[in-house]
Amino acid sequence: MELMVLLNALVTRLLFVLHSLIGVWRVTAVKKEPKYWLLALLNLLLCLETGLTLKFKQGRGYKWFSPAIFLYLICTVPSLWLLEIHHGTQYCGNEPGAVQVNISNQDFNQSRDRSHGSEGTDHHIIQTAKVFVNQLSTICETVWTLALHQTFLLLLVVGRWLLPIGVEITRDQLSQLLLMFVGTAADILEFASETLDIEDVRKNYALINAILAVWTWSMLQFPLDLAVQHIGCKPTASTRRIPSLLLCRYSAELWNIGVSLFIQDGPFFIVRSILMGHFRIFNQMLVFFTAKNILVVTLQLYRLAVITLDFRATILQKSRKGEVGCCPCEPYEASAHATADRDTEMKEFVAFPPKEESQALSED
């Protein structure tokens, strides 16, 4: 097992566990009930996955799916649910950050003065850490919840980057996937923060649960790598049907369209439409992002129509040539075989000239 592969696998999962524990700590501090520390037991699943991955996969990832990302979602999403439901019970000033910084600097200076001289440097570090933890506890709940949302999405992207990739995915595919995840994370963060910050939404408990359910549903796309990997196709009897041929040729594109329509932009559009149509909630940003979702859904449907027409044209072209039984999903491989056959025929022609030509040469 390579040292860097082992290091990346362990460090990434350690970051996941630490962030999950911070979320559990915030829930316990807000609810003021120690029983919520039981949520930390979910991290045992991530520890078990780490051991199995190191043993059977030598630390590398799996094809099409990342169990570490999925278990990180399981460990962190419940804490964010509880924080959002308990949202807004603490008062936040207009400039909480500036107030906290001033208080922290004053306490750090007092701690340094008390520890200077007899106690030594070690005592000073301990006192500074205690003051820092106390100041973190005084930050209002809304700031903590938003920070956990932001770091959660950032860790999903950075963690997917740091996790060792499997043999089935290339670096080029991974870079495409990470770029897609950055845009996806920004849209998901905007959806959660923009809808849950509406005052009328905060007064409706059922509406909060519905928005969080859609938010959780949209997060399920992060463990999957189908957006950059083609399933592939073999010209067998099972792949001669039209839907199977279409899927094997455009698997990555169809997955992107499906994610947008059924996991992200489609559900986001439905939620925002309900807010405006049924609950009569209107603001400038809500209208803008609703229009943006409509545009994305329309473009994805247009893309699906283009793919279908292109595939239909390919099928008709091959049927005219008598190649109905061939699989059109790997045209490059077929053309490569045809080129190889032509090269073989040319070599045989050069090595063994026709009989008429050989007899003319012998008569001369």
Contact present, 23 and 82 (Cβ < 8 Å): no
Q: Answer whether residue 80 is part of any domain.
A: yes
Asked if residue 75 and residue 17 are part of one domain, the reply reads yes
Q: Is the pLDDT of residue 236 over 90?
A: no
Of 41 and 4, the structure prediction assigns the larger pLDDT to 41
Does residue 50 share a domain with residue 155? yes
Q: Looking at 89-93, 202-206, 242-246, 267-271, which range is the least confident one?
A: 89-93
User: CB neighbours of 275 closer than 8 A, spacing ≥ 6?
Assistant: 195, 198, 201, 281, 286
- For residue 228, pLDDT beyond 70: no
Average pLDDT estimate for 104-108:
49
Note down the domain range covering 285.
230-322
Residue type, 295: L
Average pLDDT over residues 212-232: 83
Read off the pLDDT of residues 277-318 as tens digits, 9 standing for 90 and up: 999 998 999 999 999 999 999 999 999 999 999 888 888 887
Predicted confidence at residue 336, as pLDDT, reads 42
Instruction: Give the span between the Cα atoms of 299 and 143, in whole angstroms.
Output: 36
Q: Which of 11-15, 24-28, 72-76, 123-127 has the lowest mean pLDDT?
A: 123-127
Using N-to-C axis directions, what is the helix angle for 43-56 and 67-85, rounded to 10°? 170
121: confidence class by pLDDT, cuts 50, 70, 90: low
Cβ burial, residue 26 (10 Å; 0-12/13-18/19+): buried
Q: How many whole angstroms separate alpha carbon 44 and alpha carbon 53? A: 14
Mean pLDDT of the chain: 79
C-alpha–C-alpha distance, residues 84 and 318, integer Å: 56
Arithmetic mean of pLDDT, 22-46: 93
Q: Residue 82: inside a domain, yes or no?
A: yes
The tens digit of pLDDT for each residue in 87-96 reads 755 446 544 4
Assess whether pLDDT exceeds 60 at residue 155.
yes
* pLDDT interval class at 170 (50, 70, 90): confident
Tell me which amino acid residue 75 is: C
Q: Is 65 helix (H, G, I), strand (E, B) or coil?
A: strand
**DSSP 3-state of 313:** helix
Residue 47, CA distances (Å) to 43, 79, 257, 287 in order: 6, 19, 34, 44
Which residue did the predictor score with more confidence, 132 or 270? 270
Whether residue 63 has pLDDT greater than 60: yes
Residue 183, pLDDT > 60, answer yes
Torsion of CA 350, 352, 354, 360, to 10 degrees: 90
Whether residues 149 and 297 fall in one domain? no
Give pLDDT, residue 61: 80
Residue 33: both structure tokens together:
């009930």
Q: Domain check: are 165 and 55 in the same one? A: yes
Residue 35 shares a structural domain with residue 161: yes
Does residue 274 belong to any structural domain of this protein?
A: yes
**One domain, residues 188 and 261:** no
Residue 64 lies in a domain: yes
284: in domain: yes
Asked whether residue 111 carries a pLDDT value surpassing 70, the answer given is: no
Residue 210 lies in a domain: no
Q: How far apart are CA 171 and CA 138, in angstroms?
A: 43
Q: pTM of the entire structure? A: 0.77
Is 153 in the same domain as 301? Answer: no
More confident of the two residues 124 and 272: 272
Q: How confident is the model at residue 231 (pLDDT cuts 50, 70, 90)?
A: low
| Res 103 pLDDT > 60 | no
Predicted pLDDT at 352: 47
Stretch 113-135: mean pLDDT, rounded?
Answer: 64
* 154 and 302, same domain (yes or no): no
Q: How many domains does the chain have?
A: 2
Q: Are residues 252 and 185 in the same domain?
A: no
For residues 156 and 237, the model is more confident at 156
pLDDT of residue 238: 46
Q: Assess contact for 69 and 220: CB atoms under 8 A.
A: no
Q: Is 191 in the same domain as 256?
A: no
- Listed in sequence order, the residues at least 6 apart from 312 whose beta carbon sits closer than 8 Å to its beta carbon are none
Query: Would residue 111 count as lying in a domain?
Result: no
Say yes or no: 183 and 237 in one domain.
Answer: no
Alpha carbon distance 80, 20 (integer Å): 10
pLDDT at res. 125: 78
- Exposure b/e, 247-256, CB count within 10 A at least 16 = b: bbbbbbebbb
Q: Is 170 helix (H, G, I), strand (E, B) or coil?
A: coil
Share of residues in the chain with pLDDT > 70 (%): 72
pLDDT at 339: 44
Tabulate helix, strand, coil % of the chain (nearest 5).
Answer: 75, 0, 25
- Residue where a domain stops, chosen among 204, 221, 254: 204
The answer to the question of residue 62 being in a domain is yes
Q: Is the domain of 172 the same as that of 278?
A: no
Q: Are 163 and 177 in contact (CB under 8 A)?
A: no
